Structure 1
C-alpha cells in the first residue's frame, strides 16, 4: 500500500485499486481550487499507471459526499472583482468533470448524504455511479442566482420527459432512491455495501465498468423508488411549455397540489436563474453532448457573475440566512431573455 496525502484530498493505493477521498467533512466536502487541482492530478496520474485497474471516489463524513463548490469563495469572487479568477476555477472544475466522464478505467463514485451541484459533477458523470437510497441530490443553483453547471444541464436534459426543467427551475432535490430513474446514478446500493465499499469493491476488480455496475446491482442493490413516475403527467404538461413564463402560467392553471408547490418554489428563486436554467436544459437536450454543455455553462457563469442576483442570493441563503433575497429583476417578464439566449449557441456568444 502506498499513500499520498494532503489536507483536503486523500489518495491511497491498495494493490490495483486507487482510492480518492474528499476530506473536508466539516464543510460537507465543498470543493475549492486546491481540491480540484489535486483531484485532477491524481486522476490523471492513475490513468497512466498500469498497476491501477479500478479507481474509487468517496467523500469523508456521514453527512455527505460533496455539497458542491465552496459558496464562500464564490461570494468573495463576485464581490471583490475576482471574476476572472473564479472563472478559472470553474474551468478547472469542468475539466475534471469531463475527465471523469471519459475515464478509461472503471471509476466508481459512491454518493451518499448531501450530493449537490459540484458533487453531482463528480458523482454522476463517472463510468460506475453508485448511490445510497437516502442521499439527497440536486442542482439548487436557481436559489442563489446562479445556473446549473458541472454538466448538470446535460444530466437534467437526459431525465425522463421534462423532469429536467422541473428540477432546474424549482432547484428541488431528490433522493438517491430516485436517482437511477432520473439518470443520475446506475445502482442504489445497500447500507452495508456503502459503509464497507473498500472491502466490497475488490470482488469486482478486473471487470469493465458496465459489467461492474451490473454485478454490484445483482449482489448489493437496494430498492429504487418509482414515485416520481406518478408525477410525470403534470410535470410534462407544465414544463414542456415554450418559455419559463408559460410554464408558470400552466402550473397556475393546475389543481394538482404538487404543481402548486412547484409554482411556489419557482417564485422563490431568481427569475434570471430560472430562465437561464430552463433555456440551458433545452439547449443541452438539443445538443446532447457533455462538452458542449460545459462550454455553455461556462459562458452563462461569466454572464451571471456580473448580475446582482448571485451575490444577493448567496447573501440571503448562505451568509445572512434570512432567506429573503431581493431579486433584480423581480419577475420573469423583466428578465433579459435575449442576453441569455445569445449565450446558448457558441456562434452567438
Structure 2
C-alpha cells in the first residue's frame, strides 16, 4: 500500500486506515479514493479483521474535503469528462462505506468537511471529539453539498440540515451527535486509549460496548438554537429564510449574526440549489441521493460559480467572489431545477 497518501495496517482485530496528507488536512485526491477502496476490499476479505477504523494523519483533522484546487482546472475549463471519474468513484465509495459488512469506525477529530463527511458519516460507528468541526461548506465556493451529505442533512432534527447546508457552518462534536451525524463523543485525550481497546476485539459485536464505555455526552449548542432555526429555516424560499435570519440577527443573536454574514458571502445560485437538494433528498435513499449529487456536481463544473468560488477562496484568496447572478432574486426556479436534470455527455451514476 502507498506510503505517501494512505497507510494501512492490521492491529489485532482492527484494520486501520490512515489518510496521510497532513499538510492538506488529508484532503482527498483521486489516488486516495482508489487506495481507500482497495483497503476496504483487503480488510473485508481478511477474516482476522473484525472491524475497520479510519483516521487522519496529523492533529488538524480527519479530512478537510476533496482536493478542490485540482478540481479548479476542470471547472475553469468546463472539463466535465476530466472531472467526472473522481466524483463517480468517490460517490461509489461513499455508498460502499454505508453498506460495509464489518463495523466501520471513523475517528472524526478536528476538521471533517465535505469529502471528509463522505468517508465518515456513512459509516456504522462515528466517533467525534471535543475538537470536531464538521460541516458541508460547499456553498461558500459556489457549489452544493455532495458525497451524500444532503441525505444526512435532510434527516437531521427539525431544520438543522437546511441551516447547515445554507450557512456552511461547522458543528461541534456534541452538535454532530445531536444532528444524527455522529454516534458517540470521546475527548481527544482518550482517543488513543479507545483505539487500543478496539485493537483487542475478537469479534465485531464487541465494538458497541467499547464505544459506549468511552462515550462522554455534552450539551449541544446547536440544539439550544433549534427553536428559531426550525422556524426560520423552514421557510419556503431562500429569500424568506434570509429575511428570517436578518430578524433574529437584529435581536443580537450571535449564531444568527454569523449565519447572516455567511449568507452575504455565498453564491445565490448555490444557496438555492443547496436548499432544493436537501428537500429532494428527504424523499430519496442514499444511493438515489448520490445519483442526484453527480448531476448537481457536473452542472456546477459546467457553470461559472464553482470555478469562481474556488478561485476567490483557494487560488487567488482575495475572498471576493463575483457571483453571477449576484442577487437571490435573479436566480430563477428554472435555473435551479436544471441542476437536477441529466448532464449532456455524462452518464448517470450507477450503484450496484
**TM-score when normalising by structure 2:** 0.91
Q: Distance in 2 between matches of 1:7 and 1:157?
A: 36
Q: Confirm or deny: 8 A CA contact 1:283 1:344 kept in the other structure.
A: no
**Whose relative contact order is higher, 1 or 2, with alpha carbons under 8 Å and at least 6 apart?**
2
Gaps of 5+ in 2: 343-347
Q: Confirm or deny: 8 A CA contact 1:54 1:205 kept in the other structure.
A: no
Cα distance change on mapping 1:161 and 1:124 into 2, 3 Å: same
Q: Look up the SS of the partner of 1:316 in the other structure.
A: helix
Offset from partner CA, 1:190-227 (integer Å, 9 cap, x none): 2233134431213444133xx6234312x212332322
Q: Which residue number corresponds to residue 114 of structure 1?
A: 111
Q: Confirm or deny: 8 A CA contact 2:78 2:303 kept in the other structure.
A: no
Q: Distance in 2 between matches of 1:345 and 1:197?
A: 45
Q: Which residue number corresponds to residue 9 of structure 1?
A: 6
Match of 2:334 among 320, 332, 338: 338
Q: Distance in 2 between matches of 1:238 and 1:339?
A: 24
Q: Look up the SS of the partner of 1:245 in the other structure.
A: helix
RMSD of Structure 2 on Structure 1 (CA): 1.8
Match of 2:130 among 112, 123, 133: 133
Q: Which residue number corresponds to residue 208 of structure 2?
A: 213
Q: Which residue number corresponds to residue 258 of structure 2?
A: 261
Q: Which residue number corresponds to residue 228 of structure 1?
A: 222
Q: How far did 1:263 drift?
A: 2.5
Cα distance change on mapping 1:334 and 1:285 into 2, 3 Å: same
1:193 aligns with 2:190: yes
Q: Which residue number corresponds to residue 323 of structure 2?
A: 327
Q: Distance in 1 between matches of 2:32 and 2:312?
A: 26
1:172 aligns with 2:169: yes
1:51 aligns with 2:51: no
1:294 aligns with 2:271: no
Q: Look up the SS of the partner of 1:12 in the other structure.
A: strand
Q: Distance in 2 between matches of 1:342 and 1:320?
A: 29
Q: Distance in 2 between matches of 1:337 and 1:195?
A: 50
Q: Look up the SS of the partner of 2:317 in the other structure.
A: coil
Q: Distance in 2 between matches of 1:343 and 1:80?
A: 19
Cα distance change on mapping 1:215 and 1:17 into 2, 3 Å: closer
Match of 2:307 among 300, 307, 311: 311
- Count of paired positions: 340
Q: Confirm or deny: 8 A CA contact 1:112 1:135 kept in the other structure.
A: yes
**TM-score when normalising by structure 1:** 0.92
Q: Distance in 1 between matches of 2:202 and 2:335?
A: 49
Q: Confirm or deny: 8 A CA contact 2:139 2:266 kept in the other structure.
A: yes
Larger deviation: 183-192 or 113-122?
183-192
1:280 aligns with 2:277: yes
Gaps of 5+ in 1: none
Larger deviation: 32-41 or 197-206?
197-206
